[in-house]
Each structure stands twice: as C-alpha cells, then as structure tokens.
Amino acid sequence: MYGTVARMRVKPGAEDQLMGQLREFQSLHVPGFKNSLVYHMDNDSQEYYLVVIFESKEAYWNNAKSAEQDARYQQMVALLEGPPDWHDGEIIYSVE
C-alpha cells in the first residue's frame, strides 16, 4: 500500500465544506483508492491531518497526475490557509 499524510490549516468557517469535498472523493470510486482518515487537532481548531491510502504507488501517482484530481485539489486548497504539507510514502504496517 502507498499513500500520503497532509497537514492542513483550514480557513475559519470552511470545515464543513472541506468535509463535504472529502466525502465526495470517497464516493467517486477512484481506481486503487482504499481509505482516508481525517484528524482534527485538539490544540488548534484550524489544523487538520489527512491520511489517504491507495493499494499501490502506481495507483496513487496515476490519481495524483490526473486532471480530475488536480481540479479537486484546487477546490480543496481554496478552503485552506495555504497549500497542504504533503508526506508521501509506502505503508509498511497496517492492522485492519
């Protein structure tokens, strides 16, 4: 498995819109997409962490390079105080 962890600062009042966009992504049946998690930090109400999991590095990058994903990304960034801080990598341990 492969994925990313993103640190994001959401603009005040945009939280519900962001969550709506993330739920919409999950309904799209993107090839190779497995799961995502969103953390809302206790010590900072505007700080979120997004975890996105794909079945493979290839599936992850195929999605990341697509025009459709770029359009979704641009919509998401409009709700943030700045671009997310991305950390991509192979998932080497998971319990399901």
The pair of three-digit structure tokens given for residue 72, joined into one six-digit string: 């979704």
Domain ranges of the chain: 2-90
pLDDT digits (tens, 9 = 90+) for 26-78: 889 899 999 999 999 999 999 999 999 999 999 999 999 999 999 999 999 99
Integer CA distances (angstroms), 51 to 4, 70, in order: 6, 17
Q: Which of 22, 20, 28, 21 is nearest to 63 (CA)?
A: 28
pLDDT exceeds 90 at position 20: yes
User: What pLDDT, on the 0 to 100 scale, is given for residue 32?
Assistant: 97
**Per CATH, is 2-90 categorized as 3.20.20.370?**
no
DSSP 3-state of 84: coil
Whole-angstrom Cα distance, residue 48 to residue 71?
A: 21
